[in-house]
Chains A and B, each alone.
Chain A
């Protein structure tokens, strides 16, 4: 059992490295001081109160989530639409399309922001809003969702779908009962990744968000004045907690079916 113990210790160290900065953020959002660190000046709920009392801060939180959820859903649906033909069909230009799909990952957000600004605002004359921002985020999120879903589909054993049809299932029933449940982990991962891409972006938001602010832009603005820092920390901590909840909802569902099954308990 020694080896098991070693792995457990490693696991906790690993978690500590990942979560220590976030934990400190959370701790100092309760520190009765304007600085973002030690010394500890005593416990206070002041910063959380200012945050929850600030209508602008709350609106940015709402904006962030509206955009991120939209992006997660739309980018994942579009990713499905791209991944299925790319993996399952053979057609001319397939490789070109595949490479083209991945290019946006390599392009800095700054450039994407500028080019989308000129396209949407200058050329098409759209009013900048959460809508244009969502378009920008979907664009940068699409490579991630397509990649994740393609990886899932490449490993997909098509004879399972044939087996369902052989047992009397129509195309739609086959998708609902076989294809969808089996690619669901990929869908969860895709939703989470694209959700995060949108949530953490400040650059594209600067170009496409117009007067509708999201959390990262708001926090940046706050950081310019020293008395704005603590409240930004409370706000950031709040976002981290929400992100954790989402991670639990999505990722655990995505990973759990792939873990080794517990041993069966006897017959029946």
Chain B
């Protein structure tokens, strides 16, 4: 893949605060790349360095192979969709969207055609004359997206663009953004703290914490093989067990042995962290044919329609979460039920 954006050892300090700490990453042409992390981890600051509003304290930013560290925002081939949208309140929808095109001095009929196309794309045809205040939150959101998109930037930077929307609208916008990306073929760098959004849309995800990038990988890689306890916990509720490992067998205090896929082999005992995703765990009165089976007692039961979530207490006192497809009233376990839980060795992930 051709590299479009690259950060090399980028650090940003605000006084004593290190907002971004030695971040290196690259984003390929036409890739949908997400920065995922909790509030305050440096996502916005990273985007602002790519768009040119912050100058890195150290390190370099490359866009399209060119060093951009000292290039001002208005000369960069990027467009940013601001976390707070920043639509111009004194201009109508048409003037907002055409702002960038007018600065580039495109012919008027071409501007008109492009704005019309864009409004079609986000299904807001006929809204040209509206004031920003006369738009709903979701409509404003879409205008903010096309105001950036209409300039056909090489790189589109999106800072939590779906934050203020309700669930249904969010889901619609997620689909719409993916469609736009397919149709326009722009590189998307997408900032979010919503793991569901990141997993659904991204080609690759960078997980950030405290200004650092912890792991970069495809959604499946990040979800199935998190590299650290933080990621395992942040992305999908994970059941974590600490133990000491030798030859693929993990000894967990008070629980017994957990058989895991033999990872990078060492016969020395060393402490490890085992992570089992809730939907990979089976639950039943009797279980067989699984590599790991433990006794437990159901403590909480949540019927959620499509799935049912159990909180199960194991013998070592840890509560694990199990999610299964709902299968009718007579198969549901009530709190207090004695059950067995189990999983296969290939369904758990071992971290050092």
Contacts and interface: CB of A to CB of B under 8 A. Distances in A.
Given A168-B151, A169-B103, A261-B131, A163 B86 contact: yes
Nearest to A164: B99
A4 interface: no
B111 to A, nearest CB: 13
Contacts of B72: 165
A163 B81 CA distance: 8
A170 B73 CA distance: 9
Interface string A156-195: 0101101111111110010001100110000000000000
Contacts of B306: none
Contacts of A267: 125-127
Given A166-B148, A167-B103, 5 more contacts: A163-B86, A165-B73, A166-B80, A169-B99, A181-B90
Interface residues of A, number: 23
A257 interface: yes
Interface in A136-163: 157, 159-160, 162-163
A261 B129 CA distance: 12
A264 B100 CA distance: 25
A21 interface: no
**Chain A contact residues: helix, strand, loop or mixed:** helix
Given A164-B99, A165-B73, A264-B129, A178 B88 contact: yes
Would you list the 8 A-B pairs with minimal beta carbon distance, nearest first?
A267-B126, A167-B100, A268-B126, A163-B86, A159-B86, A168-B103, A165-B73, A165-B74
Nearest to A168: B103
A168 B71 CA distance: 12
Interface string A235-259: 0000000000000000000000100
Given A167-B79, A168-B151, A173-B103, A182 B90 contact: yes
Contacts of A168: 74, 100, 103-104, 151
Given A166-B79, A167-B79, A160 B130 contact: no
Interface of B: 51, 53, 72-74, 78-80, 82, 84, 86-90, 99-100, 103-104, 125-131, 133-134, 147-148, 151
A39 B130 CA distance: 57
A126 B131 CA distance: 53
Nearest to B76: A166
Nearest to B103: A168
Contact of B129 (A157, A167, A173, A268): A268
Given A168-B74, A169-B103, A170-B74, A264 B134 contact: yes
10 contacts: A157-B86, A162-B86, A163-B88, A165-B72, A167-B74, A168-B103, A182-B90, A257-B90, A263-B134, A264-B131
Contact of A166 (B73, B89, B125): B73
